[in-house]
């Protein structure tokens, strides 16, 4: 009964008519396992979550240690607790000096919601500029600034005063004016199929925000935590946002997100009104312990040093006439094919070969690869061989 597909389909709310329906009993490293003991290589890290692999022993120990102390004891922002303190301090030491104040929340979309509120409160402005094809989450505010109209149409009206520009198009930056509260963008667009901006574009965005007084929010919920080869993707472009949002891999497998800014900017949420942003479970001590351990693992095991080399190996091995294009930064890939139908067949065939790949919500002609950063060379070779076989099977 505990693994019943009937219960899953009837008693758990469904997101699509066609769920992946792989039954999982346990996970370890880059692998997930079924109750029958079948092993699958997780090439999508639980959609950007397990960057250091499933159940890293350092993370598991940190969680267990915190469980022996206490779980939730108070809503966010009232009690002093060791693990949120240590995590916030750690972030302040690894981020630029202007990103020294962290507000912990429970997810990526909540991080973006908080960032949008913070920008409007600090600037006193209402206009928000986002990018077409972007994805920032599914709650009303985050959905309002996401660029996929198909996903938004059934839920209007959404936030007013939101404008959209083309990502990586410098000509559109003139639409950022002194009436703009903030510009929100993914440092690398994930759901759009791994769209990587140019260095000159990112510098131009930063410059235009400086000129107009608009705050720059960089959403690194998918592309952060080492995915691009640096701990934060904005490091690839030598700029610093006014507000940074993180989640997914930040928690090492547990749910936590954060929006991070300067003490000066963040302080405006404390008055007019007090409790300008509030969350019951933000800064949960167990989740913070897991996140702190994740940062420790990335640093102590020097995980970032091999990300680019591993990414290049994938790119070298994934050569097939049916592949139209591969877009990659670090270990974040979109692999393009002729049509959505072929992509779906390949994803299913790859699963049958023991490899979990997936598609993108907003770019159905691509399938995604974003494995744990800890994946080995041998596991990369095995995965690529399985994908190539899946392409052959799906193309006949």
| 173 pLDDT more than 90 | yes
What is the per-residue pLDDT for 291?
98
Give me the chain's average pLDDT, please.
Answer: 96
**What is the C-alpha separation between 227 and 85, in angstroms, rounded?**
25
**243-246: strand order across its sheet:** 101-105, 257-261, 243-246, 215-219, 180-186, 127-131, 162-165
Percent above pLDDT 70 for the chain: 100
3-class DSSP state of 219: strand
Give yes or no for a contact between 87 and 288, defined as CB atoms under 8 angstroms apart.
yes
Least confident of 10-14, 49-53, 100-104, 304-308: 10-14
Average pLDDT over residues 120-124: 98
Could you report the per-residue pLDDT of 147-157, keeping only the tens digit for each?
988 889 999 99
Could you report the per-residue pLDDT of 174-227, keeping only the tens digit for each?
999 999 999 999 999 999 999 999 999 999 999 999 999 999 999 999 999 999
Q: How confident is the model at residue 336 (pLDDT cuts 50, 70, 90)?
A: very high
Element of type H or E holding 163: strand 162-165
What is the per-residue pLDDT for 188?
98
| 392 pLDDT more than 90 | yes
What is the per-residue pLDDT for 40?
98
Q: How confident is the model at residue 300 (pLDDT cuts 50, 70, 90)?
A: very high
Give yes or no for a contact between 86 and 93, defined as CB atoms under 8 angstroms apart.
no
Listed in sequence order, the DSSP H helices in 44-98 are: 45-48, 57-67, 82-94
| 1 pLDDT more than 80 | no
Please report where in the chains the tokens 């680019």 appear, as a residue: 308
3-class DSSP state of 385: helix
Bigger pLDDT: 141 vs 151: 141
Structural domains in the chain plus CATH codes:
5-55+303-395 (3.90.1150.10), 58-300 (3.40.640.10)
Could you report the per-residue pLDDT of 222-279, keeping only the tens digit for each?
999 999 999 999 999 999 999 999 999 999 999 999 999 999 999 999 999 999 999 9
Contacts of 139 (CB under 8 A, 6+ apart): 109, 110, 113
- Is the model's pTM score more than 0.85? yes
What is the per-residue pLDDT for 396?
82
Tell me which DSSP letter residue 272 carries. S
What is the per-residue pLDDT for 172?
98
Bigger pLDDT: 387 vs 148: 387
């Amino acid at each position: 009964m505990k693994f019943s597909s009937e219960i899953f389909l009837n008693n758990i709310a469904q997101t699509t008519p066609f769920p992946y329906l792989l039954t999982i009993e346990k996970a370890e490293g880059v692998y997930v396992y079924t109750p029958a003991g079948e092993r699958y290589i997780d090439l999508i890290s639980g959609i950007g979550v397990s960057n250091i692999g499933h159940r890293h022993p350092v993370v598991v120990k940190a969680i267990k240690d915190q469980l022996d102390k206490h779980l939730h004891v108070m809503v966010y922002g009232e009690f002093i607790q060791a693990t949120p303190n240590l995590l916030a301090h750690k972030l302040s030491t690894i981020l630029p000096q202007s990103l020294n104040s962290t507000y912990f929340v429970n997810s990526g979309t909540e991080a973006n919601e908080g960032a949008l509120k913070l920008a409007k409160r600090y600037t006193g402005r209402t206009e928000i500029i986002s990018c077409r094809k972007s994805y920032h989450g599914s709650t009303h505010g985050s959905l309002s600034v996401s660029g996929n109209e198909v996903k938004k149409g059934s839920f209007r009206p959404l936030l007013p005063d939101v404008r959209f520009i083309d990502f990586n198009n410098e000509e559109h930056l003139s639409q950022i004016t002194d009436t703009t509260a903030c510009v929100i963008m993914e440092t690398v667009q994930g759901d759009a199929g791994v769209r990587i901006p140019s260095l000159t574009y990112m510098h131009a965005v930063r410059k235009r925000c400086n000129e107009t007084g608009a705050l720059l929010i960089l959403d690194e919920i998918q592309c952060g935590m080492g995915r691009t080869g640096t701990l934060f993707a904005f490091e690839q472009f030598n700029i610093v946002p006014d507000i940074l949002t993180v989640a997914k891999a930040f928690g090492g497998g547990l749910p936590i997100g954060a929006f991070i800014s300067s003490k000066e900017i963040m302080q405006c949420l404390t008055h007019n009104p007090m409790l300008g942003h509030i969350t019951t479970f933000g800064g949960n001590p167990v989740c913070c312990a897991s996140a702190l351990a994740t940062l420790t693992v990335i640093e102590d095991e020097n995980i970032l040093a091999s990300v680019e080399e591993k990414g290049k190996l994938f790119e070298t091995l994934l050569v097939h006439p049916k592949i139209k294009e591969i877009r990659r930064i670090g270990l974040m890939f979109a692999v393009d094919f002729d049509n959505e139908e072929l992509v779906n067949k390949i994803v299913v065939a790859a699963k049958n070969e023991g490899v979990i790949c997936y598609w993108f919500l907003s770019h159905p002609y691509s399938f995604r690869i974003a494995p744990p950063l800890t994946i080995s060379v041998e596991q990369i070779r095995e995965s690529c061989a399985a994908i190539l076989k899946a392409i052959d099977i799906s193309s006949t």
